[in-house]
Amino acid sequence: MIKRNKIGWVALVTLLVTAAAVFQPFTIGAGAAFPSVTGFTPANCETEVPVDSTIAITFDENISPGIFFDDLVIKTYKSGMPFTYTIAGDTLTLTPNFTLSYSMTYSVTIPAGAVKDAAGNPNKYIYGFSFTTEAPAAASPPVVNEAESYPRQYARDMAVDKPITIKFNEVILAGPAFNYITLKDANNRSVAITNKKIQNGLLTIYTYQKKKDTRYTLTIPASAVKDKDGNMFAGAYRLSFTTKAR
């Protein structure tokens, strides 16, 4: 009888030890710590983000790509954006392959298992954030810089053998109305323009030799020139001057 009780107690203890081993909480890696996101750049819901920005995701420990890293996405409401990446310690940086679009909302999704820590523990949760890029800069058309042009407005000492030079505030190109630049005398008679040259932001206008002590008016119409971004010269510019008497 006592022998059977000893066997029974041994069996019970064995069963309890086995059960404890079977139902031990499951862990992954040392310490069962999971990488967690601590910050995004740009910040979630940030606006006016420059279109040449990169995207940085910071974790609470050093990371490397996980088995689901390729499921990480940057996308708009229309399509995904391809990117390259770098990892430096606890920071994952995403660089879009193309410049971001203006006034566009982008979302970034980091799936579970996208990254892992040094012990092989993957990020346990899905993370997501979004941001909106800046609006395009307002059009800024070329503007005449009268202080650096020759002759000055209403000047009375223009040399008859010198060309007219009009300085703009930026680099210019010929616009659709470039050939409609005119020079007229006081009697509204056209004066032949023999050549027009553009060098960076300087427009040089050559004519046959002008008459002495004569008033002339140069007219540069709207769209005669444009800047490198295609912004057209706005409004007509008129320059009035008088040549030297001697």
Q: Domain residues for 113?
A: 34-133
Q: Are strands 127-133 and 46-49 parallel, antiparallel or unpaired?
A: parallel
Residue 22 lies in a domain: no
Q: How many CA atoms lie within 13 A of 181 on its CB side?
A: 26
Q: Which of 104, 133, 162 is a domain's end point?
A: 133
Span 217-241, mean pLDDT?
94
Number of domains in the chain: 2
Residue 16 lies in a domain: no
Question: Which pLDDT band holds residue 193 (cuts at 50, 70, 90)?
Answer: very high
Q: Which of 108, 133, 158 is a domain's end point?
A: 133
The fraction of the chain above a pLDDT of 70, given in percent, is 87
Q: Residue 176, preceding bond cis, omega within 30 degrees? A: no
Does residue 98 sit in the same domain as residue 154?
no
pLDDT, greater one: 28 or 223: 223
d(CA 83, CA 20): 48
Q: Which of 102, 133, 164 is a domain's end point?
A: 133
Does residue 128 sit in the same domain as residue 156?
no
Does residue 238 sit in the same domain as residue 156?
yes
The answer to whether residue 158 scores a pLDDT higher than 50 is yes
pLDDT at 137: 80
For residue 91, the domain's CATH number is: 2.60.40.1220
Question: Which pLDDT band holds residue 229 (cuts at 50, 70, 90)?
Answer: confident
Span 149-171, mean pLDDT?
95
